[in-house]
Amino acid sequence: MEKFQRPQSRTATPWMSYSSSRGNTDGSSWRHRKPARRKRAASDELKLFCMGYKQDLTRSFTFFNNAGVAFSLLSPLAALTGMYGNWGLPYGGSAVMMWSMPVVTVFSMLVTLSLAELTSAYPTSGAVYYWTWAVAPPRVKTVACWVSGWLLVLGQTSFTAANSRIFTDLLTVFVLMARGVQLTSSAQLGIFLAVLAVSAGAASTPNYVMAFITSLGTFWNFIALTALAVALPSVANRRQPLSYIYTHWQDNEAVTGVDSHVLNIMLGLLISQYLYVGFGSCAHIAEETAHADVNAPRGMLVAVAATAVGGYAYLLALNLVAVDPKGLLTPQNESRGTHAVAQLFWNVHWQTYGNGFGGLALLTIPLAAALLCVNQCVATNARMLFAFSRDGAVPLHRYLARVDKRTKTPVVAVWVMATVSALIGVPMYFSGPYVATIATMAVVSTYLSYGVPILFKLISGRGVFLPGPIYTGPKISRLVNVIALTWILVIAVVFSLPTLYPINAKNMNYNAVGTAFVVLSTLAAFYCPVIGGRHWFTGPRPNLGQFDTTETVTATTTATATAGAASQPPLERKLSSLTKSSPSALFQAVQHQQA
């Protein structure tokens, strides 16, 4: 037998590994393999335990699913199609849109990075609400997380209502252009409510069904968006030159009443900023995502980056084929001036093929994207309400925090959030100014709630915030947080400005009034004597079983003793032993799992 030979330098070739048959005598050469990628320890449930919660939801979402939820919710197809004629064309035209979008993208990405760090440190469905409690000073913890939580509820339910309105408008103009039938306000309201009901039903399905719907929405928004952005300029026989798109100023003072270039540019930011509402959904489904401390923040960043690229390409395609921008909004066209993008699709096919019905076929692409967007809105909002109710912060919290045993989803919270969105959205079909108010309120309230934990993270300093795996470092993180807060203040001002002049009761933007009313109402509800939140609300409330009744605890203990410790999964045995351990032992266990 030949003598076993070692490689000349094992240190110099760390990728070299020995064969499983080390004693081979056939003189075969050594196998050269790259090192296997290290797998991260599955410490999600342990981290959730250390934050005070048990694993109630099914953790089956991957990084792709997590990023897909936000990408389907941001949905450039739905957002830009719905707002192109309302906030895009009227304020400076294509030049303002094409130059403002990169600016808005950079600042929105910094806000996203600030939230990604918080998501990595505290991967829980409570998201903004829990982050605020974790980093705020002790004296204001409860009131700060109370206000931020309710601001987010207002922003996300308004956002759901606004997206449902986008779907309703698309379907209404489709029927008008295809059949010549103008749907009444009552019929449109029925469609609006039906969309919310269908979305709530889909959001009540088991987690694996939701993962499939999320994947479908992701592929649809990516593939269909790419195809549409390529097809529109290819089909059109007339296109605007790039020099016109990036330099031509479109004056619409006769429509908007805005004669100031500066004000037009500021209002031109609206369409781009509306595109970046909802990326916080990655944090709301963190308790259903594997390796959430890494996958949730990465999903957030990737979703915003993909939205930026796809949105800019789609906006460029729309402006390339908009050879008559003012004609898209005239009441004499086929859409009767109600929908600029639908009319644009019609015009492209009419000019090329002699009829516009092919444009209506293209209109089904953003129509489906809007429906998938509403579904994701309802699903993620329910997770937010579930986390808020789990801590006893809302009336009837015991019912709202229930997780269905069969589907492992917060079904009650799903239907409650859909109902709240319906109540907020119903007045849109009876009052014109209310439509713009809801859309602007969705942006302002959501971003203000994002700003609360970012502000307290800056105020509290390093000793309070314990960073997770995704962290830019103390100096860069503080700089990013300062810029993000500044941008949030700019958003709050711009989205509160009137969009039509001269100002009167019919065109007034009531966003500032509505947001102020909600903030004051939540503060009044918190400080109300006797029954106010400050008398009973203490912030995040652990649900590890310490509040169970004696009978429940006794029954659980007896069942566990009967089953025996050997029948428990390893993680459950670990959590059972850690329940009796000191806090230092808990953190040591988490660090060991992360290693």
pLDDT at 8: 44
Digit-coded pLDDT (tens) for 187-207: 999 999 999 999 999 999 988
Residue 20, burial from CB neighbour count under 10 angstroms (0-12, 13-18, 19+):
exposed
pLDDT interval class at 515 (50, 70, 90): confident
272 contacts 188 by C-beta, under 8 angstroms: no
Digit-coded pLDDT (tens) for 123-146: 988 788 899 999 999 889 899 989
pLDDT interval class at 400 (50, 70, 90): confident
pLDDT at 581: 43
Question: Can you tell me the mean pLDDT for 451-461?
Answer: 90
Assess whether pLDDT exceeds 80 at residue 522.
Answer: yes
Residue 502, preceding peptide bond in cis (omega within 30° of 0): yes
Half-sphere exposure of 70 (CA within 13 A, CB side): 31
Digit-coded pLDDT (tens) for 309-318: 999 999 999 9
Assess whether pLDDT exceeds 60 at residue 4.
Answer: no
pLDDT at 407: 84
pLDDT interval class at 454 (50, 70, 90): very high
Question: Can you tell me the mean pLDDT for 383-400?
Answer: 83
pLDDT at 553: 41
Q: Shortest CA distance to 252 belongs to which of 125, 485, 93, 49? A: 93
Rounded percentage of the chain residues whose pLDDT exceeds 90: 44
Question: Can you tell me the mean pLDDT for 461-485?
Answer: 89
- Which residues are CB-neighbours of 328 under 8 A, at least 6 positions away? 85, 89, 322, 337, 340, 343, 344, 347
Across-strand partners of 32? 16
Name the residue with higher pLDDT: 559 or 474: 474
Q: Write out the two tokens for 318.
A: 């729309």
Question: Can you tell me the mean pLDDT for 389-408?
Answer: 83
Distance CA 303, CA 380 (A): 15
Q: How far is CA 318 from CA 160, 267, 324, 341, 467, in A?
A: 25, 19, 12, 8, 42
Name the residue with higher pLDDT: 409 or 112: 112
Distance CA 515, CA 341 (A): 30
| Averaged confidence pLDDT in the chain | 83
Rounded percentage of the chain residues whose pLDDT exceeds 70: 84
pLDDT at 170: 95
Q: What 8-state DSSP symbol labels residue 88?
A: I
pLDDT interval class at 514 (50, 70, 90): confident
The end-to-end CA distance of the chain, in Å, is: 43
Q: Shortest CA distance to 364 belongs to which of 63, 77, 159, 162? A: 77
pLDDT interval class at 586 (50, 70, 90): very low
Across-strand partners of 468? none
Assess whether pLDDT exceeds 60 at residue 416.
Answer: yes
Question: In 10 A of CB 554, how many CB atoms?
Answer: 11
Distance CA 539, CA 53 (A): 13
Name the residue with higher pLDDT: 518 or 484: 484
φ/ψ region of 574 (left if φ > 0, alpha if ψ in -120 to 50, else beta) reads: alpha
Half-sphere exposure of 552 (CA within 13 A, CB side): 6
pLDDT at 42: 57
Question: Can you tell me the mean pLDDT for 222-232?
Answer: 92
pLDDT interval class at 545 (50, 70, 90): low
Question: Can you tell me the mean pLDDT for 70-87?
Answer: 92
pLDDT at 287: 86
Digit-coded pLDDT (tens) for 207-216: 888 888 888 9
pLDDT at 404: 85
Assess whether pLDDT exceeds 80 at residue 24.
Answer: no
**Rg, Å, the chain Cα set:** 27
Digit-coded pLDDT (tens) for 160-189: 999 999 999 999 999 999 998 999 999 999
pLDDT interval class at 504 (50, 70, 90): confident
Q: Per-residue DSSP letters for 27-60?
A: -PPPPB-PPPPPPPP--HHHHHHHTT----S---
Name the residue with higher pLDDT: 357 or 594: 357
